[in-house]
Amino acid sequence: MAALLLARPGGSAGAPEAPRTLVSGTLRIGTYFVNPPFEYVANNGARVGFEVDLMGEIARGLGLKAVFVNTHWEAILQELQGGRYDCIVGAITITPERERQLAWSVPYLTTTLSLVVNEAKTPGQRSLADLRHGTVGVQAATTDYDAALAMQRRGEIGRIKVYPFDRIEQAMRDLEVGLITAVMKIEPVAAWLAAKNPHLRILGQVPDHPQPLGIGFRKAERALVAAIDRALGAMQRDGSMDRLKAKWAVP
């Protein structure tokens, strides 16, 4: 992390200052702790996850203290634009529409959308083609929902059941008892949730829907975006990113 340490206030002569933030010395991060393994509340009440560690390392490298503010997916983009946070994370896919609203870091991970099925309740599900009469659970206002709509229009899935973002556990319970056929989520979350029940498995990945995940900022925060992009690059080069991915089983 030596490259990041140059950004610390009071560093060597000529070293750049820490980027300006809403509160001096603090990086205020909006997120939601309902999204394992990216961020969630552990059994002991601690807030943990891949992105918690990622943003903590970035903040320390920039000479800042990471402060996480818990909110809801449905409000987080608007709250950022309203000046409540310096940045936001939450396994958020960078899309053209979101790029029109916000500035984004370089992607720190590009993943896929996966479908989780219940072998005990729907043993006939062997491929994506078997979902054409099924019901797929997705979270509202997500790329999962957009992909499911496109698949439904093509006749690849039968019905869509939409859940509020923070009700993903309800979707998984419905899958476990056979009320829906599958749940669609980005791959690391899908794998995490499927591992909690021996009857659940990943049926497959949705083709042609790559999910580049990034950190979001207000459009005017060019200096902060640039500083965090440099931090992400340093973590890729020094192996820090690979270590975090291995710790949280994020491919």
What does residue 194 show for φ and ψ, rounded to 5 degrees? Answer: -65, -30
The average pLDDT across 54-81 equals 97
Other C-beta atoms closer than 10 Å to the C-beta of 123 total 10
Asked whether the predicted pLDDT for residue 167 surpasses 90, the reply is yes
Asked whether the predicted pLDDT for residue 134 surpasses 90, the reply is yes
Asked whether the predicted pLDDT for residue 99 surpasses 50, the reply is yes
Asked whether the predicted pLDDT for residue 7 surpasses 60, the reply is no
The average pLDDT across 79-83 equals 97
Asked whether the predicted pLDDT for residue 121 surpasses 70, the reply is yes
Burial string for 209-247 (b: 16+ CB within 10 Å, else e) reads bebebbbbbbeebeebbebbbbbbebbeeeebbeebbee
Asked whether the predicted pLDDT for residue 3 surpasses 60, the reply is no
Average pLDDT for the chain: 93
Q: Are 213 and 113 in contact (CB under 8 A)?
A: no
pLDDT at 16: 55
CA proximity to 185, closest of 153, 223, 215, 142: 142
Asked whether the predicted pLDDT for residue 1 surpasses 90, the reply is no
Domains of the chain: 2-110+212-248 (3.40.190.10), 113-205 (3.40.190.10)
Give pTM, 2 decimals. 0.92
Asked whether the predicted pLDDT for residue 165 surpasses 60, the reply is yes
- Percent of the chain, pLDDT > 70? 94
Tell me the Cα Rg of the chain. 19
pLDDT at 185: 98
Other C-beta atoms closer than 10 Å to the C-beta of 60 total 17
Asked whether the predicted pLDDT for residue 39 surpasses 50, the reply is yes
Asked whether the predicted pLDDT for residue 13 surpasses 60, the reply is no
The average pLDDT across 26-53 equals 98
pLDDT at 14: 43
CA 162 to the chain's CA centroid: 19
